[in-house]
Amino acid sequence: MADLYEVGSQSTVRQAITILIETGELYGHQGLGVFVPDAAE
């Protein structure tokens, strides 16, 4: 997995997360600019 948290631009992180979600590669809850992985899996 890419080091999303290492990226300086928060907008870039959000964009990457959005792409992952849209492609079905990532699931979870996003809020306040912080992505929290789904611990159920």
User: What confidence score (pLDDT) does residue 32 get?
Assistant: 44
Q: What is the mean pLDDT of residues 33-39?
A: 59
Each residue of 13-25: pLDDT tens digit? 888 878 877 776 6
pTM exceeding 0.75: no
**Better-predicted residue by pLDDT, 1 or 10:** 10
Give the model confidence (pLDDT) of 3-12 as tens digits. 555 556 778 8
Of residues 17 and 40, more confidently modeled: 17
40, 27 contact by CB (below 8 A): no
Question: Which ranges of the chain would DSSP assign to H, the alpha helix?
Answer: 10-22
